[in-house]
A and B are shown apart, each in its own frame.
Chain A
Amino acid sequence: MSDSFINLSQTDFEQVKISLTDFIRTKPEFSDYDFTGSAMSTLIDLLAYNTAFFSTYTNFLANESFIDSAQKRDSLMSLARLVGYTPRSRIASRAVLNVTSSSSTLPANTVFSGADTGYSFITLESQILEEVSSGVFGGDVTVYQNSNVLKTVNTTYSFGKVVIPEQADISSLTVSVGGIVYTEANRISALGPASKVFFIDPIFSGAYEVSFGDGTYGERVNDGSNVRVEYLTPNGVNNANGERSFTSNAVTSINVVSESYGGSERETSESIRRNAPSYFQAQNRAVTANDAEIVFKVDNPEVYDATAWGGEDNNPPQYGRLFLSTIKDAAGTTFSAEELSEFGAKLQEKTVVGILPEFKDRSCYDVNVTSGTLIYDPVINSDGTGLNGLTSTKLIEYDPACSFRGVFPYSTITSELVNENPAIRSIDLDIDISGSFSNETYNNSDVVRNLYISFANSVKKNSLFTDFFFISESLGEPENIGFLDDDGDGFIRLGGVNSGRIFNYRLGTIDYSNGNITILGFSDWDTQKAITDQGTKDLTIHCVPESRAVQAKKQATYKLGTVASIRLSQ
């Protein structure tokens, strides 16, 4: 239909061309606009092309202007800079070694070669070793992976800035002016004209720049000053993690205290997109649990992952505490007590007064597939052979593996099974979650038998049950085999399997909304008998979650547990 106006809502070439043609159709002067060879058609093509080009360009421009839609790393870096977020650079892998030497000093830049990974590690600073025996000095040293035997030094100071290449680990950055060491500025409000600080900001192509104060906020550094910037340039990054075999000519013996860890590539674009707004929201202060998590991870780039939660979410609650759980690599290796203590002290500077950060190991519960029904097409697979194995393989593929914020993606698993194998017409799985208490741990007479589970997922009423476990002979139960269940009103009961009798109607409590289970002073659990009976398992408490998409929250993480064979049906 002809329009006497140009429709601006369409922006691709063909639509713009139609819009222009419709417009010219209303003008009496020209009639050849819709014949390809005409001059009018050629001009319309050019106009449409020009419009399409600029609409595409404008679309790119608009996308790159917002952190949600920016695609180029440069744009994300620039947008992150606006909210004061410095994207994480490459991080050098590090290891802690206990060394002995005939010299009392281990100089900076001492090289340690890694035989497993093939990368070299160096010491950053000169370290004094203690005398452990006559003429033998020793101590723990931290070594960092670096591409050279020395830290890279940059003294190119022009236009008030020093550019640090994208290969650098900026957490290792040291800056000195005229021999005086400057510190990195975090809060501009705390600075004065004489503050010897430097600023670090992300710039184009993943590089960073070091700049100094303007004379009001931070001391001004004049052109021509002797500025020295040193940093690690790790080339191994995550490939240098896990090194356990170190050799060096500078020391007599080496014992590995902590194998190399923490090496990682620079922060990905998606990570910048997610973390920059969170960091801005936190304002560099750990007020809420989410703040603590992001501030902790930004301040400690060697941390692989971490989660934080308030003590009020614990079972039992511990008010006035901030809890964190952190790991140093994908395998879930934990940090040493000394390292956690350092992390805690650093984080406490940013928490609310009176709130103490405390580190806890994550709890890893099981997601079990207890049964299920698979309906298959006998035309494609006559007897359903291999479908149980296929289901197990798919479940293993989506094992949350105790990861923080991991999800057991039930709907993805079932839909992929149906979509990928034409023999499967429908599949339905029954899921429960479980936590175990070791007979060995609770056998000692000094141990108070208080059992706590915090599944951090809603569970169904009357769904609690336990695996086979022994109870005290004094209860008079044949075979002494007991069970736990819940009464649907939030109380946990203790009963005997063979007699069906309930011995205790108020053994513990269960909060269905968050899966908190509390059993205090469980003296009727016969742990000794369980230990002497070789075939007996630990006390394992199961619950059926409200949602089969079980997700890790706070300290509660999940892994795939037992997978029962599922029923096949045509």
Chain B
Amino acid sequence: MAKVTDRYRYSDLDFNFARSANGDVARKFDDNAIKQSLRNLVLTNYYERPFRPSLGANLNSVLFSNFSQGDMGEIRSGIIKTINEAEPRVILLEVLVGFNEKTLTLSVSITYNYLDTEDTIDINIERVK
């Protein structure tokens, strides 16, 4: 069987544990693997990972607070710090944070550069009640 890693720089498990065509667990490669990693980091809360209590952007802790401009800045700097520390494969270009008071949704937009290619991921967290 050909080595997939010969053709791809990065390879990771699909966190959804979807099945691939050959019945094995699906994988993600290169930019998809990195997007999954960024999403995973941003959605990680403090004390979630064993023995690494300060890893993650800790969005859950602010989700139920009354948002102010200060909170937005705190979330943004948390995301920047996490990605800079834990994801060396990307160069972070911009992080935008917004809160829609009608839909009670926290939106995070992360623009980054990976192998001279600029890309953006959007993460939305909705307060359901």
The interface stretch among B35-43, B61-69, B70-78, B95-103 is B35-43
* Pairs across A and B, CB under 8 Å, 9 listed: A13-B50, A30-B12, A32-B33, A35-B10, A36-B52, A36-B85, A39-B14, A40-B13, A45-B52
In the assembled complex, which residues on chain B have CB atoms less than 8 Å from the CB atom of A30? Answer: 5, 11-13, 27
Query: Given the known A-B contacts A42-B49, A43-B13, are A35 and B5 also in contact in the complex, defined by CB atoms under 8 Å?
Result: no
Complex Cα gap A560–B47 (Å): 57
Q: Does B4 contact A (CB under 8 A)?
A: yes
Query: A29–B11 contact, CB under 8 A?
Result: yes
Least distance between B73 CB and chain A CB atoms (Å): 23
Query: Given the known A-B contacts A14-B51, A30-B11, are A37 and B5 also in contact in the complex, defined by CB atoms under 8 Å?
Result: no
Query: B12–A40 contact, CB under 8 A?
Result: yes
B15's nearest neighbour on chain A, judged by CB, is: A39
Query: A35–B37 contact, CB under 8 A?
Result: yes
Query: B27–A29 contact, CB under 8 A?
Result: yes
> Number of residues in A with C-beta < 8 Å to the partner?
19
Query: B3–A49 contact, CB under 8 A?
Result: no
Least distance between B107 CB and chain A CB atoms (Å): 20
Query: A32–B50 contact, CB under 8 A?
Result: no
Query: B11–A37 contact, CB under 8 A?
Result: no
Complex Cα gap A205–B42 (Å): 48
Query: Given the known A-B contacts A29-B11, A43-B13, are A36 and B4 also in contact in the complex, defined by CB atoms under 8 Å?
Result: no
A28: contacting residue among B3, B13, B51, B89, CB under 8 A: B3
In the assembled complex, which residues on chain A have CB atoms less than 8 Å from the CB atom of B14? Answer: 39
- Known pairs A35-B89, A45-B49 / 17 extra A-B pairs, C-beta < 8 Å: A13-B51, A14-B51, A29-B4, A29-B27, A32-B11, A35-B87, A36-B52, A38-B12, A38-B33, A38-B37, A39-B12, A39-B14, A39-B28, A40-B13, A42-B15, A42-B49, A45-B51
Complex Cα gap A48–B27 (Å): 22
Question: Which A residues fall within an 8 A CB radius of B?
Answer: 13-14, 28-32, 35-40, 42-43, 45-46, 48-49
> Which residues of B40-58 have CB atoms within 8 Å of chain A's CB atoms?
40-41, 44, 49-52, 55
> Which residues of B1-19 have CB atoms within 8 Å of chain A's CB atoms?
3-5, 8-15
Query: B87–A37 contact, CB under 8 A?
Result: yes
A38: contacting residue among B9, B36, B49, CB under 8 A: B36
A37: contacting residue among B8, B27, B50, B86, CB under 8 A: B86
In the assembled complex, which residues on chain B have CB atoms less than 8 Å from the CB atom of A49? Answer: 50-51
Query: B50–A45 contact, CB under 8 A?
Result: yes
Complex Cα gap A36–B48 (Å): 13
The 9 closest A-B pairs by CB, nearest first: A37-B37, A49-B50, A36-B86, A37-B41, A32-B12, A39-B13, A39-B15, A38-B12, A37-B40
B83's nearest neighbour on chain A, judged by CB, is: A37
Which of B8, B12, B85 counts the most A-chain CB atoms under 10 A from its CB? B12
Query: Given the known A-B contacts A37-B37, A38-B36, A39-B40, are A32 and B15 also in contact in the complex, defined by CB atoms under 8 Å?
Result: no
Complex Cα gap A30–B27 (Å): 9
Complex Cα gap A37–B27 (Å): 15
Complex Cα gap A43–B49 (Å): 10
Least distance between B22 CB and chain A CB atoms (Å): 12
B3's nearest neighbour on chain A, judged by CB, is: A28
A33's nearest neighbour on chain B, judged by CB, is: B12
Query: A46–B50 contact, CB under 8 A?
Result: yes
Query: B55–A31 contact, CB under 8 A?
Result: no
